Chains A and B, each alone.
Chain A
Amino acid sequence: MKILLFLIALALTLQAQDLPNLDFRPAAPRKPLAPLESDTVKDPLAVKPESRLADLANVFEPASRVRLTKILKREYSRHRISIYVVTVSTMDAPSTVKLGEQLRKDWITDDLGGVLVYSRSTDKVSVALTDAAIKKIKESGPIQELANQIDKFNFEGPTRGLPKSITAILNQLRVSQDVGTAVDDKPLPLFLIYGPILIVLLILGIGMYKVCIILVANRVFTRTHVLHTPPVQTSLGSKTGGINTVEMKF
């Protein structure tokens, strides 16, 4: 009997191994799959670079990159002119213009500024300026001149031409800024108004002091009394005096 029961249990176990899983409990939530390699590579132009230079095409040497960054940051801190420079490896001309416009809209919140996009494949620079910057440049002179200048600098290569192009744009914007501030007719700084007055007063004071010293030395302010010496007399063998003496104990 026992052997029979054992055989039945064995047969059932073997049969059960062949059956599909009949567990109807809800399955545990699956862990998300590891992202693909293609997904981990972020868009480098999604966030505006703090250095104001996104050198994706590795155009600049480290030293010139630092120099250019310095210029761009300085211009922003001093004149609030926000300029970004982007270099890309392969991109046709219309795409660089499109990218420049897109980045300008995304990155530049200030009034004055622009994005310069250099494509290594076309070896050309496209400039996307803000409306305010364009307006300012137009106020100070024709914008075509600036475009010609940038084209001219383009022939010198990116490492030399790009900084020159940036400088040309900055100069143009600064000139227009200066023109704008000159029209505002700001009051002069206080030291310019009172400085010369103070200097004149100081010189006058020194002069008066010297004159006073001379007058005092010449006894102009002192009322003098001239004592006359009487003829020499002698008493008790003395020749100068000392007889007329009073004394008090204290």
Chain B
Amino acid sequence: MRCPSCLNPIEESVDACPHCHFSILGLDKRFGTVPRINRYITDLSSLFTERQERHLKQQIVRMERSFIGLHLAIVTMDVHRRFKPREYLFWLTNRCRFCPIDSREERSLFIVLFFDTASRTALLTTGYGLHATCSEENLQSALATGLPEFKKNRIYHGSVAVFKAVAGLLKSQLRLQKSSATNPQPVRAMATSTEIEETT
């Protein structure tokens, strides 16, 4: 787990980052009003056509049917240059509901694909419920599948690729979890990636 601001590793259940004292309470003052976010796709930067939006929504619904409890969303936004996209997404995921209003227990089972068009950055984040299933490495590899398309400004195609990779990742991880539950094996420490950013 890393601090969204300074990217230093932090422990679970800390109120503020021990390195930069970052916490969500400070973000409320900076970002102000919470934008209106749709359940599936919020295209504030108009990166998708209507047809593409419809297809993406269909794919999200299909995935949510396959993984019961999971909530997926895409947000495209023009984040102000003063703010870090990672901080903004952290604040957004905590202040907006990406799950239906009536679901109470599954609020932390979400994956959000976020595009900041100002800094041309794609971000992929998960809720607490998926920390065990989707490590940073796995998320990084899933996001990397869409990068070639993002570079060509084909955001829709890249998003589809990312969602396919996420679905594959979830399936394989859930299968692993099942097999480990039936045949317990010694836990191996997973290598953590040091650098995540990839600049073009």
Contacts and interface: CB of A to CB of B under 8 A. Distances in A.
B62 to A, nearest CB: 8
A219 B61 CA distance: 13
Interface in B3-42: 3-4, 10, 12-17, 22-25
Interface of A: 219, 222-230, 232-250
Nearest to B70: A227
Interface of B: 1-4, 10, 12-17, 22-25, 65-70, 85-86, 89-94, 105-110, 112, 119-136, 139-140, 143-144, 147, 150-151, 158, 170-171, 174, 196-200
A244 B93 contact: no
Q: Which 9 A-B pairs have the closest CB atoms?
A: A242-B93, A241-B127, A250-B150, A237-B24, A245-B125, A227-B69, A241-B128, A247-B123, A242-B90
B119 to A, nearest CB: 7
Contacts of A234: 13
B122 A238 contact: no
B93 to A, nearest CB: 3
Nearest to B141: A246
24 contacts: A219-B65, A222-B65, A223-B66, A227-B67, A227-B68, A228-B69, A230-B131, A235-B13, A236-B3, A236-B15, A237-B23, A240-B107, A240-B128, A241-B125, A242-B89, A242-B112, A244-B130, A245-B4, A245-B86, A246-B140, A247-B122, A248-B121, A248-B144, A250-B151
A156 B120 CA distance: 102
A226 B90 contact: no
A249 B125 contact: no
Nearest to A226: B68
Given A241-B128, A246-B136, 14 more contacts: A227-B67, A227-B68, A227-B109, A227-B129, A235-B13, A243-B3, A244-B1, A244-B135, A246-B123, A246-B139, A247-B121, A248-B144, A249-B119, A249-B198
